[in-house]
Structure 1
Amino acid sequence: MTYQVRRAGRADWERLRELRLAALRDPVAHLAFFEPYEEAVRLGRQEWEGRASDSERTILVGEAEDGTWVGMVGVHGLVDHVEVVGVYIHPEHRGTGVAGQLMRTAIDEAGGREVRLRVHQHNARAARFYEKLGFRPTGASAPDPRDPGLVAYELVYRRP
């Protein structure tokens, strides 16, 4: 299967909502999101339109040949680096290459700046994936706001 990576826009708010809610319900992927499902499901159209068209954060989506959204990556550009947030791939499309396409596009969006992200201590599969792409630990970590006994480790990608 082939995938297209593109930016989400305001008109995509319903599809973004559907994909985000799927991520928050996913038994593994929800670790990457600090937003509880119960809060996200209550958001209205305006909030979702705002998320889909936020000028400070780009949401890249992976779209299958049939138009189905199968994954997403948020790219938040800062002055000296880019932060990748909200990475999610629908379970049926994990291992197909779409995650790599999304992340390579996110890296390209950085325009040569460092790319940073955090990976939850219980998400070893994601950590291995990021390391294969060239991300390396920085040594920094942050507590999980839902459970301060757990942490998310920061990884960084620097262009060779």
Structure 2
Amino acid sequence: MLSIMRLVPPWGKPEAVKAYMQDMTRWSTGRMLSSAARHVEREWNHHLFAWDLNHASFPVLVLLAQRDHSQRQLASAVGVTEQTMSRILARMERTGYLTRTPHGDDKRRHVIALSPAGERVLREAARPGPAEAMSARGLTPEQVATMRELLTLMIQARPEPTDPA
């Protein structure tokens, strides 16, 4: 078990603080997960940039490949606000990856569908090789399997978000 004193930085000399910050044995598990996630996310965004996508827009393509959705459904499925989803969709519509058509029963809503260009981009960008290489760099296949098991447990154990309304 980590001693809390090992986690407290030695404020004072800049070189001591820098050495402390680089010593990952002192990092909390949460900080390590956050750092690893940021590195993978940056690399993933760099990969997706070739198609004018990012980590926020890619899951929308995946969902739309399954069936058409409303903006509200997409926001809920991705875990963002409708306002954030509106910005994501506007950008994807400008790139030609989706279409919005008025809903048949409710003219205030739109049906969002994947365009042929969106289908093509999804096939190209979703190749599993690059994503696996980014997230498993430096690990053996056994370590990757263990990491996936542990991450699955962590994700399944998280509490459901509470509805602020």
Task: Assess same fold via TM > 0.5.
Answer: no
Greater helix content: 2
Greater strand content: 1
**Bin of the TM-score, shorter chain as denominator length:** under 0.3
